[in-house]
Amino acid sequence: MPSYPESEPPFSHQPTTMVSLWSHQTRNFPPKPLEYNETLSHRPTVTWSTSLSSTLQQYINSDTPFGGQSIHTRIIKYGFIPNTNISIKLLILYVKCGALNYARQMFDELPQRTLSAYNYMISGNLRHGLVQESLGFVRRLVLSGERPDGYTFSMILKASTSCRSNVVLLPRSLGRMVHTQIVKCDVEPDDVLYTALVDSYVKNGMVGYARTVFDMMLEKNVVCSTSMISGYMSQGFVDDAEEIFSKTMEKDIVVYNAMIEGYSKSIETAKKALEVYVDMQGFNFRPNISTFASVIGACSVLAEFEFGQQVQSQLMKTELFKNVKMGSALVDMYAKCGRIEDAQRVFDHMPEKNVFTWTSMIDGYGKNGSPDEALELFCRMQECHVQPNYVTFLGALSACGHAGLVAKGHEIFESMERDYSMKPKMEHYACMVDLLGRAGSLDQALKFIQQIPGKPNSDVWVALLSSSRLHEGR
């Protein structure tokens, strides 16, 4: 049994925990689209059964499995009652074709539901994003008395990390609960299961548990290493991430991207992101969209526009240059480096723009001493029917403050809720206080603060004090 560094042991749950967690009834299945004629006395020979099984398997293994569905029609037409083997192959075929309704019908008509049938239904639903339906089959499996195997548990863990919505609320400790059952059921862990466990722990912020499982693996695969690096980087444990990276023998583009992205978040480590980017290409790894996005972000943090220009040159040699995400990243980078003309040039040549592109350009103009251009672009954005977000409004209000446009600032502030149903956040109130304060309307700024719903935070008071200091003695 593994030893974990966290205070609460992961194996304290009872075996019934999973049953209680997944015991509620699954939703009703629609009427059956196909019916078997069990009254017909005709029975195909064993040879035909073997031939059917072989043909179905060929379709399952092919890249075009859809043609195999016609076999089911023939089975019904000739009154053949399929055995369990053929029924499961039909189930697998329908799962691979994405016809999950038919797959579920085949599952429900099985005289005896095997573990493999449950696993195919769990993985099939999960592959198509149906997390709740996938967990419904887990409940049925547990309640049926069938014993899950490593693949079942890996699918449950994948479901837990795939579910990030309010529709399906799963406990943060689900990974530990599953780990408990793996140990109690004496399941032999393999690379797939270990990787799923590590990923589950990492995505739930339990990096210590993840590392313990990782250290138990005899052969560390690159997927597991990448999960650990991402987990460590997200919590600021850069040294641990570097240790894992250095020990990863067979590196791929994804593990390099994890290091570059992790380094790019902080000014203390952003230069290392650029170094890894160069080293990666020395080993003949070609940057992809994630690589470019992270390294451009590092250039933004460091204000390294010259390196950013080199990255742009590389980017222009690929089709990725037309990607709106890449264009937005370049606009943001040049704007933060004070190269507003370069940012404008990229902005003007982008075939597609989104709210982030417009916001980066507006913010860039405002912070580089061109508030009038920022407000003009804000108007153009609205004329193009692109809805501003919270950051866009911050940029526009800041530009009004620098330009001394109090009336325009009031209009933009009021339009947030009036036109876009966006309740201003405390940052927007602080911008308004700064706007009024810069214009010398300190009494009006104080009255504005007194009308703020909720308790003003430190940013609001700092804005007022800065304005008071600015106008002191005038």
Nearest to 449 by CA among 437, 398, 101: 437
Single-letter code of the amino acid located at 217 = M
* pLDDT score, position 184: 82
* pLDDT score, position 218: 79
Element (H, E) at 348: helix 340-349
* pLDDT score, position 472: 61
* pLDDT score, position 17: 37
* pLDDT score, position 23: 35
CA distance 199 to 214: 10
Region of residue 294 (phi > 0: left; psi between -120 and 50: alpha; otherwise: beta): alpha
Q: Encode pLDDT of 412-464 as tens digits.
A: 999 999 999 999 999 999 999 999 988 888 889 899 999 999 898 898 898 88
* pLDDT score, position 37: 36
Q: Which segments of the chain have a pLDDT < 50?
A: 1-45, 165-167
- Cα distances from 393 to residues 61, 355, 361, 387, 432, in angstroms, run 53, 11, 13, 10, 11
Q: What is the DSSP letter of 320?
A: G
* pLDDT score, position 156: 84
Q: Encode pLDDT of 225-275 as tens digits.
A: 999 999 999 999 999 999 999 999 999 999 999 999 999 999 999 999 999
Mind spelling out the 3-state secondary structure of 3-71?
CCCCCCCCCCCCCHHHHHHCCCCCCCCCCCCCCCCCCCCCCCCHHHHHHHHHHHHHHHHCCCHHHHHHH
**Contact of 431 with 394, CB cutoff 8 Å:** yes
Q: What are the chain's domains?
A: 13-169 (1.25.40), 251-351 (1.25.40)
* pLDDT score, position 293: 96
**Contact of 119 with 98, CB cutoff 8 Å:** no
